[in-house]
Chain A
Amino acid sequence: GAGVSQSPSNKVTEKGKDVELRCDPISGHTALYWYRQSLGQGLEFLIYFQGNSAPDKSGLPSDRFSAERTGGSVSTLTIQRTQQEDSAVYLCASSLDNRGREQYFGPGTRLTVT
C-alpha cells in the first residue's frame, strides 16, 4: 500500500516569508506526527494529532509554527515569518494508533531559508 507522502520535497524561501508543508498519512492511520531533523538538534518532535482530539503542540518551538489536520487525514504544517534557523528537514509520520505503535515516516520536506 501507499506510504506516507509529503510535499514539496524541497522548498527554498526567503527569510520572513510563510511556508506550508503538506503530509498525507497512510490510509487508516489515526495518529499523525511532525518532527524536525537538523544537524545540530537531531530529530525533534513538533506536534501530534490523534483522531479528532486536540493536538499535542508541546514540541512547537515558537508561535510562528502551527499545524492542522483536516478530516482526520491530510495535515499541513505552517511556518510564518520564516527564519534561517528554521532550515531543516521536516518529517511527517503516521501510526495505527497512539499506543506505542511503530511510526512510519514520509520522505520529508527539506526547507532552506535564505
Chain B
Amino acid sequence: AQKVTQAQTEISVVEKEDVTLDCVYETRDTTYYLFWYKQPPSGELVFLIRRNSFDEQNEISGRYSWNFQKSTSSFNFTITASQVVDSAVYFCALNSNSGYALNFGKGTSLLVTP
C-alpha cells in the first residue's frame, strides 16, 4: 500500500521567515515519483515539482527548495523568505509503477502574515 503523511495540518509564519513543510511517504515499489502541488485560495492545484526515486539530488528553484531523503522516506519542502503570496494549501503526492493515480497527503495549510 502507498501512503503519504503530512503531519503539519496548519502552519502560520510571519513574512520573511523560512518555513519547511514535511512529507513522509510509504511504498513497496522501488520505482516511484514524488510531487508537490500548491492550492492557493483560488482553488486550482498548481504543479511545483516532480522527483523520481533514483534521483536524490536536492533541488532549488528561487525561494523554493526540496530535500529528498530515501533513508527517511521524506520529501520536505522549504520556502525561504516567505511572502504573503505563498499562503496556500500544499500537497505532497506519490505515484509509482503499481498505479497511475496520485496518492495525496492531507495537505498543509500555510498562512503567511505581513
Contacts and interface: CB of A to CB of B under 8 A. Distances in A.
Chain B interface extent, by class: 20 to 34
B36 to A, nearest CB: 10
A88 interface: no
A42 interface: yes
Interface in A18-57: 31, 33, 35, 42-43, 45, 48, 50, 56
B75 to A, nearest CB: 14
A31 B14 CA distance: 40
B100 A33 contact: yes
Given A91-B45, A100-B52, A104-B47, A42 B100 contact: no
A98 interface: yes
Provide the main secondary structure of the chain B interface: strand
A102 B100 contact: no
A43 B104 contact: yes
Interface string A72-105: 0000000000000000010101000010111111
Contacts, number: 53
Chain A interface extent, by class: 20 to 34
Nearest to B50: A102
Most buried by A among B44, B103, B106: B44
A59 interface: yes
B61 to A, nearest CB: 14
Contact of B100 (A98, A104, A106, A108): A98
Interface in B38-82: 43-47, 50, 52
A48 B101 contact: yes
Nearest to B107: A42
Interface of A: 31, 33, 35, 42-43, 45, 48, 50, 56, 59, 89, 91, 93, 98, 100-108
Given A43-B102, A100-B31, 5 more contacts: A35-B102, A45-B103, A91-B45, A100-B50, A104-B47
